[in-house]
Chain A
Amino acid sequence: KAGVTQTPRYLIKTRGQQVTLSCSPISGHRSVSWYQQTPGQGLQFLFEYFSETQRNKGNFPGRFSGRQFSNSRSEMNVSTLELGDSALYLCASFAAQDTQYFGPGTRLTVL
């Protein structure tokens, strides 16, 4: 069974730009969560989607948004990028309330 895929793997943007990251979950999984990982804060929850509906949201500003499509693929968007948004963005896929399996992440660098 193929794992969680995330694209792109690496991104370099400048302050003020916006970025869209993509996540394809494991086949059959309808739930996706997004996390931000930084050296200072560790892994922090961004949001969770199930059947195209956002079910939970972490403590991040409104610049961070996401959506899920009918095929369970998910995207997250960050607008007006700041230097502090540089991080590894991780997507996790799961079935119902089961174990979350993570993708390889997208490394975002904001210059």
Chain B
Amino acid sequence: EDQVTQSPEALRLQEGESSSLNCSYTVSGLRGLFWYRQDPGKGPEFLFTLYSAGEEKEKERLKATLTKKESFLHITAPKPEDSATYLCAVQAGGGNKLTFGTGTQLKVEL
């Protein structure tokens, strides 16, 4: 059974204080690893897809990386508007089902 574990569960940062979120996974036949951002009361918003170990993608202050066992979401110089829950999901095997981690709740303070 596919498993995804995210850490930490919650993270509080000061504005400008860079950090990383972790997503470790156990799957058979990874086809893709996805990062989403979710604001309270809203649906997840797509950020990145990573397909193979060594791949990296960047968008504004966010950078996602992938190894054979885990993915990191690096947040550089965060701002209060980056506060949200960040979700990691994997797609494996032959189907399109996403298996999600429980998320990291990020709060960035002034």
Q: Which residue of B lies closest to A44 (CB)?
A: B100
- A-binding segment of B37-45, B61-69, B75-83: B37-45
* B positions within 8 Å CB-CB of A: 31, 34, 36, 41-46, 49, 87, 89, 95-103
Q: A97-B31, A99-B34 given as contacts; is B45 within 8 A of A55 (CB)?
A: no
A33–B89 CA distance with the chains assembled, in angstroms: 14
B95→A55 contact, CB < 8 A: yes
Task: Write 17 A-B pairs (CB below 8 A) sorted by A numbering.
Answer: A31-B96, A33-B97, A33-B98, A35-B98, A42-B101, A42-B103, A45-B98, A45-B99, A48-B95, A48-B97, A55-B96, A56-B97, A97-B31, A100-B98, A102-B45, A102-B46, A107-B41
The number of chain A residues with a CB under 8 A from chain B is 24
What mask results when residues 12 to 35 of chain A are scored 1 for a CB within 8 Å of chain B, else 0?
000000000000000000010101
- A94 to chain B: closest residue by CB: B96
Q: How would residues 92 to 111 of chain A score, 1 for a CB under 8 Å from any chain B CB and 0 otherwise? A: 10100101111111010000
Tell me if A43 is interfacial: C-beta within 8 Å of chain B.
Answer: yes
| A86, chain B: closest CB distance, angstroms | 15
Q: Is A90 at the interface (CB under 8 A from chain B)?
A: yes
On chain A, the residues within 8 Å of B46 by CB distance are 99-102
The SS class assigned to the A binding surface is strand
In the complex, which of the residues A99, A102, A105 contacts B49, with contact meaning CB atoms closer than 8 Å? A99
Whole-angstrom distance between the alpha carbons of A92 and B10 in the complex?
26
A57-111 residues with Cβ-Cβ distance < 8 A to B are 58, 90, 92, 94, 97, 99-105, 107
CB distance from A101 to the nearest CB of B (A): 6
User: Which residues does chain A contribute within 8 Å of B89, judged by CB atoms?
Assistant: 43
How far in angstroms is the closest Cβ of chain A from B12?
19
